[in-house]
Structure 1
Amino acid sequence: MMKRQLWWLLYGALTGLLVGSAAALFLAGLEYATYLQIEHFWLLFGLPLAGAAVSWLYAKYGANAGKGNNLIIEQIRRGHEEPDTFELVPLRMAPFILLGTWITHLFGGSAGREGTAVQMGGSLADELGRLLRVDSEGRRVLLLCGISSGFGAVFGTPWAGLVFALEAVTMGRWVTYRAVLPCLAAALVGDYTTMAWGITHLHYDIGGIPAFSWTVVLKVIAAALAFGLMSLIFAASLHVIKRWFSKLIASGWARAFVGGLAVIALVYMAQSRDYLGLSLPLLVQSFEEGLPATAFIWKTVFTVVTLGSGYLGGEVTPLFVIGATLGNSLHALLHLPAAFLAGLGLIAVFSGAANAPFACFVLGLELFGTSGAGYMLLACVVSYMVSGHTGIYSAQLAGVAKPRFYIQVPGIRLLNEQRKKRRNARG
């Protein structure tokens, strides 16, 4: 038993080494693409053609890589119970999503980076599983290792990567406890590997934490209600826009072309380029100074149009920006420090949209420290509970009823199922 666990720790570390190196390449290229986009405004006008070209390549050569994160979640969720439903996570997903995301950001699309890291991680992990000839359960564990190392490496938050991989597949319970140690090894090695390649991550200062009082608790709950509603609005809008584009425009390349034109129009409507790409300067500013009250609305619209029309990239960094700018806009109303509310908004909006409250709580601890941990947990849980039954990962919801007004302790449902099986076997 011990020997088997040591082997799986080695497999997790190997996954982290592969994914961490891929994440370093991705982040270095993304930083350069962002620099070029900022320096050369004219690149924005190439967005429609660039998006159309990437969509055409995906349709012709991408196979099932176009399903993105949902393909990986589906295979983890179904693989153990229905072996015949295995659908390969193709190795080509890694270079396709890497180049596609670079192109999105080079030409100004509003998207994130987590989706790219997770898909690269899942693709490389599944290829490693084929080389190692693991069984169906081992394949699931390696895919989870790919998610944890990709998420942890791209944000510099390995512990959040671990919890996110275990929590994001199925709402209300962790997918498997067997994966905890391999995923932790993958996340830690992935993070250290990325840093060893010279990649650095942003740091945020949440400022002073308000002293505990019931008044502050009530204000945090009020802010968390707003964060949860924002999560719902973002996820629902993204799904609606995707369906609307698909219904009106049959060809993927044409959807991307029209979406690119819409992003160009939005730049002139907003009279600002702050909402293009990752919008990291906007994210940093939300912790340091006052921002326009509509900043979170504009970032939502830019991102929904970009991703809804088929451009590649993740949702998480835009959700960070939306949450932080929304928190910044609430500070005058709630009379709480702007940096404090920006930090709560960053993790809480993501919590509601990804249905991953514990991962987002751990993310907050890694980003901001343990001061204010109670407020962070409260904001994540409340946002999750009020964000409805939708989310940014559609595969996560299939066949799983989300608890709307309570949180299931991770693993309780799974343990109850195992107890019933043992009782039935004895009977």
Structure 2
Amino acid sequence: MTSADLTDSGSDPRQRALSRALPVQLGRERLLTTLRGSSTGLLALSLLVGAGAGAGAVVFRWLITSFTLALSGHADYAGLGHVANPHVPGLGRWFVLFAPVVAGLLYGPLVHFFAREARGHGVPEVMFAVARKGGRIAPQVAAVKALASALCIGGGGSVGREGPIVQIGSALGSTLGRVMQVSEERMRLLVACGAAGGISATFNAPLAGVFFAMELILRDFNGQAFGMVVLASVTASVIGRAALGNQPFLHLPAFTVDHLSQYLLFALLGLIAGVVGVGFTRVLYWIEDACDWAWRGPEWLRPAVGGLLLGGLLLVLPEMYGVGYPVLGNGIAGKYAIAFLILLLVGKAVATSLTIGIGGSGGVFAPSLFIGAMLGAAYGQGLHHLIPSAAGPAGAYALIGMGAVFAGSARAPITAVVILFELTGEYSIILPLMTAIVLATGVSHLFSRDTIYTLKLRRRGVDLDEPGAAGLPFVTGTAGQVMEPAGESVTQNRTLIEAAQHLRRSTHGQLPVLDDRGCYRGVISARAVADALADGNHDIAVVGDHVELPQTIRADQHLDDALDVLENAPGGVPVLDAGGAQVVGWLTHQAVLTAVRPPRPPMVSPIVREGTDPEAT
């Protein structure tokens, strides 16, 4: 029977409604199938991701400006020196002691409780998601990263905005891929499109966005991927220029090469920059390790307490406040003496490392450019004192130093060349820039196995260059497929003594706590009960007074996402149903190991030779 027959029959309203809805449903399914599987659909999704990343970059930059104005009283405090905050003039220049603390009190809990992967500089998390997780990034990362990084930078955090916008754009691409239920290959490509769009819009550098995504995120070049990333980058750049204007994020002087002998000077700068780039990487993780060793309190409070250290540094060197583009421009323009340039170089490395170490959120791309510019400017001014007739303008060495230090730390030579070419618009910079960047990259390879991005992953035991890294067998399925049974639970009105009896039989050292309606409220742990009963005064205390709220996962959550939660849990993690109301199981390290352990080969019975006794054998 056709839909027309159903309509003509007219006796059953449900049949008539079905006949009207059927063509719409079929059309929607065809559209979804086209978007998921065809080249035209991939093109459309790439454009959508680019548009989203462009809009995200505009909002993110607005957030940075708004929070900087709120916490410092100025649109960009870095280049103003020791000036007061007009919002709190009574504090004078001392307000910088408290700006990072206030910001940390806001973004610390936000990151800890809603998206812990938003901590740090962001790019390693995106690289890991593409290489090991099929491009899956939690959807809330975009919002949390934008707010946390904007608060961190606005409160004086000496970090860049490229890491956050890469993670924001990538999270948008991953979320769209999940909604459309695309394949993992396409999911990874959409993540790269989001990263390219973010870089393109925030720096007004569409070519740099493309090569950043291809060289660092996808780490692979092919025709289709390149085309889609270009489309996303161009789309984001158009939106960024429409909202922010067609101006580069930094105004740089014209580049000239006066003598061929200067190529040798640029080459020497490249060698020095490679060492400085590796040194910046080492300092970053040394300070982060020191902060990890020193801090013993709750992680959500760490940015606020550590903000006092950062504030003390800003009080001495206010040029380190925020990203620091005005200071970067002044250094390239030759407004600082050599000694102060070196102080700014060291100060930026320490301030950025401290910001990341205390739990801040922001990128290391802009700081590496800053360090390179200070190095190059100091190097150029030094040459003017030594060989004034052959040195050339000091600003030229600052431009080369920017690209060379970034290449030495991130080991992305193509991106380094392209972004400096886009920023200057000078073709004459290409040859000396390529010379310095290639040498800086070579020095980086010589002194370090890892880059500033991959070292963070290797410290977790992740090697992106390991064969087969993109498709590990144990990151498939859902938490519900490997979880252990829920077992016993207790209600919030039970006494601690009664809870202790149940905990003796628990294999997890904790029990789910249910409210009066039978819904999940939290957990009660054996340690909490033992501590409460130790003084003998809590015999009549009830479970509800000692409920803990650990992180939970849903039964339908992808196992790879669940492992991120399990990694930070001391024991088992409660698994809830889709509505988050009932405990349906526990995810434990043992359950995951049991699920991923390859099956044992079948036992081979011994061969019984003719004429022997099988029992004796």
Q: Using the TM superposition, give the Cα deviation of residue 106 of structure 1 relative to its aligned residue in structure 2, in angstroms.
A: 2.2
What residue number does 2:278 align with?
Answer: 232
Q: Specify which of 398, 406, 417 is matched with residue 361 of structure 1.
A: 417
- Greater shift after overlay, 152-161 or 281-290? 281-290
Tell whether the 8 Å contact from 1:299 to 1:322 is kept in structure 2 after alignment.
yes
| Per-residue deviation, residues 103-143 of structure 1 (Å, max 9, x unmatched) | 11222121110011001101100011012221010001101
Q: Specify which of 51, 55, 62 is matched with residue 17 of structure 1.
A: 51
Q: Specify which of 343, 348, 351 is matched with residue 399 of structure 2.
A: 343
Q: Does 1:48 align with 2:95?
A: no
Amino acid at match of 2:147: L
Inter-partner Cα distance in structure 1 for 2:464 and 2:434: 23
| 1:272-311 correspondence to structure 2 within 5 Å | 272-291=317-336, 292-293=340-341, 294-311=343-360
Q: Work out which of the two has the higher radius of gyration on C-alpha atoms and give 1 or 2.
A: 2
Q: Using the TM superposition, give the Cα deviation of residue 29 of structure 1 relative to its aligned residue in structure 2, in angstroms.
A: 2.3
| Per-residue deviation, residues 353-377 of structure 1 (Å, max 9, x unmatched) | 1111111111111111212210111
Inter-partner Cα distance in structure 2 for 1:266 and 1:352: 26
The answer for unaligned runs of 5 or more in structure 1 is: 79-84, 403-427
| 1:7-406 correspondence to structure 2 within 5 Å | 7-36=41-70, 37=72, 39=74, 40=85, 42=95, 44-62=97-115, 64-66=117-119, 68-78=122-132, 85-86=133-134, 88-169=136-217, 174=220, 176-199=222-245, 200-213=247-260, 215-250=261-296, 251-268=298-315, 270=316, 272-291=317-336, 292-293=340-341, 294-334=343-383, 335-369=391-425, 370-387=427-444, 388-394=448-454, 398-399=462-463
The number of equivalent residue pairs is 390
Inter-partner Cα distance in structure 1 for 2:250 and 2:324: 15
Inter-partner Cα distance in structure 2 for 1:112 and 1:208: 25
Amino acid at match of 2:101: P
Inter-partner Cα distance in structure 2 for 1:267 and 1:308: 16
Q: Secondary structure at the match of 1:33?
A: helix
What residue number does 1:417 align with?
Answer: none
Larger proportion of strand: 2
Q: Cα distance 1:212–1:167, how it changes in 2: closer, same or farther (>3 A)?
A: farther
Larger proportion of helix: 1
Q: Using the TM superposition, give the Cα deviation of residue 157 of structure 1 relative to its aligned residue in structure 2, in angstroms.
A: 0.7
The answer for unaligned runs of 5 or more in structure 2 is: 1-33, 75-84, 86-92, 384-390, 467-617
Amino acid at match of 2:414: F
Q: Given the two structures, how large is their TM-score scaled by the length of structure 2?
A: 0.60
Tell whether the 8 Å contact from 1:65 to 1:89 is kept in structure 2 after alignment.
no
- Greater shift after overlay, 308-317 or 50-59? 50-59
Tell whether the 8 Å contact from 2:248 to 2:423 is kept in structure 1 after alignment.
no
Inter-partner Cα distance in structure 1 for 2:206 and 2:328: 21
| Per-residue deviation, residues 316-343 of structure 1 (Å, max 9, x unmatched) | 1122211111111111223342210111
Amino acid at match of 1:220: F
Q: Given the two structures, how large is their TM-score scaled by the length of structure 1?
A: 0.85
Inter-partner Cα distance in structure 1 for 2:431 and 2:166: 29
Q: Cα distance 1:368–1:112, how it changes in 2: closer, same or farther (>3 A)?
A: same
Q: Using the TM superposition, give the Cα deviation of residue 177 of structure 1 relative to its aligned residue in structure 2, in angstroms.
A: 4.5
Bigger relative contact order (CA 8 A; separation at least 6): 1
Amino acid at match of 1:346: M
Q: Cα distance 1:158–1:337, how it changes in 2: closer, same or farther (>3 A)?
A: same
- Greater shift after overlay, 241-250 or 317-326? 241-250
| Per-residue deviation, residues 9-67 of structure 1 (Å, max 9, x unmatched) | 22211111011011011112223333442532526413124314422232222254447
Q: Cα distance 1:52–1:242, how it changes in 2: closer, same or farther (>3 A)?
A: farther
Tell whether the 8 Å contact from 1:145 to 1:186 is kept in structure 2 after alignment.
yes
Inter-partner Cα distance in structure 1 for 2:45 and 2:457: 26
Inter-partner Cα distance in structure 2 for 1:275 and 1:65: 22
- Greater shift after overlay, 277-286 or 256-265? 256-265
Tell whether the 8 Å contact from 1:235 to 1:390 is kept in structure 2 after alignment.
no
